[in-house]
Structure 1
Amino acid sequence: MKKIIGSFLIVTILLIASCSKVDENLEESIPVEANYKSQYTSASSPKYSTRELIIQFKKNTPLRKKAALRQQFQVVDYEVCAHCDGTFEKWDFGPGIDLENKFGSVSSGSGGAESIENVIIEFSFENDVEIPYLTGGTGNTYDTEHIASNNSNDNTVTIAVLDSGIDVHYPTFDSSPFLYDAAPLGIPGVYSGWDYVNEDNNCYDDYIQVHGTAVSTMIYESLNYAEVPFQLLPVKIADQDGEVSIFNMLCGMLFSLPKADIVQISAGWYDDINANPFTTSVFLDLLSQYENVLVVTSAGNSSNDNDGNIAHYPSNFSAMTSNVIAVGATNEEVTDAAYFTNYGRNTVDFMSKGTNLPFVNTIGQSVPISGTSFSAPLVTAVAAKLLYGSGMTYTPIEIKEQLDAGGIPVFYTKQTIYNKYITPLY
């Protein structure tokens, strides 16, 4: 069993969501592109739980063994990843617990805990900058009119969108079916995706900035324009305030990786390099189990060098495994990197448009949105077209090679590994 590396209480990790829009007034206040890092200072603080641990069991651990361990460590409540393989649970020890000591005893591997593979302290991260003029609310996504009854078609690209959900009645969508059809899975109550925030099948985007809806729109409009058959698999991991827990992200990946051809994640957290090795190893192990599924992630919006002392995940996994692509944003003219985008020669793969992209609000007014959150799904759509054009045979490595071959060289003040701009499909 791995030893504890330092105390989580002294870990100084900067977390921030990479799924945010930067205010246009801020851009006007920046006099030169060279002064990147000093300009962006609005970052959310880490939100570590004081009472919850995420437990990764070894595969095939019997239910009775899990129950015995929960009793042994005095767990007052627990949560499982619904419709997943049962390897992860979140344990709640109640208020007033010394979580550091509990972490040590659970992860020691002694006293029957040899069935536990990894232990992570639960944490969350949230959006730090708002997108104006957009509105979330209440509704549903489990109505059958939007579910595509073609899941048996092997020539349809399935794209899982891990985000705040989707409003299928938003003005950017028409009435045609485009959601993943879960009927062949035969899982009671699952019609398309799953909401890990509220633990139900309603993936409705109730976040006031409708972030997941905007991300889904980029993919939807791009692939409709390119006439590529696709299904969107909505997986809600961000709550109505835009906050994501690491447990919900893990659950979302466990749910979507076996079902999707491409996974789109426009969210992320910052971490001092190697300060949280257990979280890193858990995600890398999960990604390695589905090495033929491409994961496209946003690089983040803090003008941060992701190669440096502060890493951004999951985008930094692109430097560690072959099936992750990290995407940064260009300025509106595509002459340079956007002033807000994160960068990194070894950790950011490609760039695409990410400044003042067109979107609409609930009453059909055009509003500009910016952020690597929205450049990433544009690359996801291009990757989907490449996969479809290959007869669904390209591996993530081959898709990345094709993206590089078709990319346009652009000089960026902020360096990336490929220095290639990926042209959106529309």
Structure 2
Amino acid sequence: MKCLKPLLPLLIIYFFIFGCTTQDIDKPVTDQSFSKNNPVNLPIRSANELIIAYKQGVNTSMKNNLRRKYNVKRFKKCDCTNDRIEKWEFDPSVDIEGRNDQITQEGGIEGTDYQFFYTNENTSPTTLTTITSSHSNSLITSFLKPNSTITIAILDTGINLNKLPYRDPFLYTSTSNARLCKKNEEGEEISGWDFINSDNDVYDDNGHGTIVSSIIKSKLDNENITDYRILPVKVFDHLGKTSTFKLLCGYLYTVNKPSVSIINMSFGWYSAPSSLLYKFISENPDILHISSSGNDNHNNESVAHYPSSYNNNNVLGIGSFSFQNRAEIVKSSFSNYGITSVDFLSIGDQVSFYDNDGALYLVSGTSYAAPLVAAKSAIYYLSGYTTPVEITNQLRINGTLLISGSLPTYYGDRVIE
């Protein structure tokens, strides 16, 4: 919860003096702290694509006029009838930065983003990765849960119901009261949506989202919590890759679903913050966003890691801790850190995942620390602490207070177990 950080006033002064333009922060930055011995995957920017967000009330005719005015070669809308944003493609010879500056001056435009391509930071066991399988509609339906007090949405690689050891219903049920996605008569939304393949099967052909979902579900089930549902939203492909447009489409779909109170976002990237994602998160202050902080042993104060470094009051950045000598808590060697960008540490080193055959997988990364915090947040929500500020306060009050000197102060003073 960035507003709770003691150094925020100093940061405000810093940005007032050394502030940069939106155009500056949307470009990838190569920081000197990223050495040859500590390489990272920076996002790649498209040379001829922009994402356009329309103001409310802009009709089809006005949109057509804007596309003609700027010589848009092709445009793409989001799945699921969301018409707030579009991806515009231009001729490769176009000066994309100059074109972006022009479009942002239009009266009917509320914002733009450059199109970036991202790679998820955590890998999954290869035995969980398959691109040849799928879910039947009947299988998805068998996991549907009619209602619950809280819904936890997971923006990730989907979920593989065949690999989970659980057979009880826990999936969010899409109803006619919500705006349902539909690919064709046979492809109507059941639970969640696949924004990679544009269909109703959120099958996880990577494995990452399945493990994240399992961590959340295991924690809640072990605490005898049943009043919850999980909404899987597939925005990363079988290689763990996505784009700004697919991510934004998936996000807008998620926040339009009733009862979504927590969004787990176990992914991240450096230096290209996405002004539209920041804007959309700001528009949903009642939803708590749990984000992993990155796995490069990097100080995120040097080059920010997004979305964990967003300064929204409803965003928590989660790092990973490990046990040294089976007792002492230390920051995991891979985990990123930062005074304002990492709120808590949770266990993300050698996390156990059992599939439906009883096979054990040990996985590590801040991606696997974040879902435990999401589960704990859901427990506090069901206990009556329903706002992001209230939940964060409970996490801090009930977190494990670190013994002085056990971790440097810039890692924070609480861990979530």
What TM-score does the superposition give when structure 2 sets the normalisation length? 0.84
Residue 379 of structure 1 deviates from its aligned partner by: 0.6
Cα distance between partner residues in 2 of 1:290 and 1:3: 24
Cα distance between partner residues in 2 of 1:55 and 1:86: 10
Match of 1:5 in 2: 23
**2:288 is the alignment partner of 1:294:** yes
Match of 1:52 in 2: 49
DSSP-derived class of the 2:23 partner: coil
Q: String of CA shifts for 1:282-318, please: whole Å, max 9, x gaps.
A: 2332122211111111111111111x2200110012x
DSSP-derived class of the 1:5 partner: helix
DSSP-derived class of the 1:399 partner: helix
DSSP-derived class of the 2:76 partner: strand
2:162 aligned residue (169, 178, 186): 169
What TM-score does the superposition give when structure 1 sets the normalisation length? 0.82
Contact 1:293 1:323 in 2 (8 A): yes
Provide closer, same or farther for how the CA distance between residues 341 and 5 of structure 1 changes in structure 2, counting only shifts above 3 A: same
Which stretches in structure 1 are left out of the alignment for 5+ residues?
15-35
Match of 1:358 in 2: 352
Match of 2:266 in 1: 266
Provide closer, same or farther for how the CA distance between residues 362 and 96 of structure 1 changes in structure 2, counting only shifts above 3 A: farther
Match of 2:190 in 1: 191
Residue 413 of structure 1 deviates from its aligned partner by: 3.4
Residue 42 of structure 1 deviates from its aligned partner by: 3.4
Cα distance between partner residues in 2 of 1:301 and 1:40: 14
Provide closer, same or farther for how the CA distance between residues 186 and 75 of structure 1 changes in structure 2, counting only shifts above 3 A: closer
Cα distance between partner residues in 2 of 1:386 and 1:84: 34
Cα distance between partner residues in 1 of 2:171 and 2:91: 39
Residue 83 of structure 1 deviates from its aligned partner by: 2.6
Cα distance between partner residues in 1 of 2:35 and 2:43: 20
Match of 2:134 in 1: 139
Match of 1:27 in 2: none
Cα distance between partner residues in 2 of 1:264 and 1:7: 25
DSSP-derived class of the 2:252 partner: helix
Matching residue's letter, 1:160: A
Match of 1:204 in 2: 203
Would you say how many aligned residue pairs link Structure 1 and Structure 2?
379
Q: What does 1:299-314 align with in structure 2 at a 5 Å threshold?
A: 299-306=293-300, 308-314=301-307
Provide closer, same or farther for how the CA distance between residues 7 and 238 of structure 1 changes in structure 2, counting only shifts above 3 A: closer
Matching residue's letter, 1:290: N
Residue 258 of structure 1 deviates from its aligned partner by: 3.1
Matching residue's letter, 1:269: W
Residue 158 of structure 1 deviates from its aligned partner by: 0.3
Match of 2:75 in 1: 78
CA RMSD of aligned residues (A): 2.6
Cα distance between partner residues in 1 of 2:261 and 2:165: 22
Contact 2:121 2:294 in 1 (8 A): no
**2:330 is the alignment partner of 1:331:** no
Provide the identity percentage.
31
DSSP-derived class of the 1:134 partner: helix
Cα distance between partner residues in 2 of 1:266 and 1:106: 32
Cα distance between partner residues in 2 of 1:83 and 1:266: 23
Q: String of CA shifts for 1:100-149, please: whole Å, max 9, x gaps.
A: 33323323x2xxx3211222110011135633443222212744434434
Contact 1:262 1:294 in 2 (8 A): yes
Matching residue's letter, 1:349: D
Which stretches in structure 2 are left out of the alignment for 5+ residues?
1-19, 183-187
Q: What does 1:169-248 align with in structure 2 at a 5 Å threshold?
A: 169-170=162-163, 172-183=164-175, 184-185=177-178, 187=180, 188=182, 189-207=188-206, 210-228=207-225, 229-248=227-246
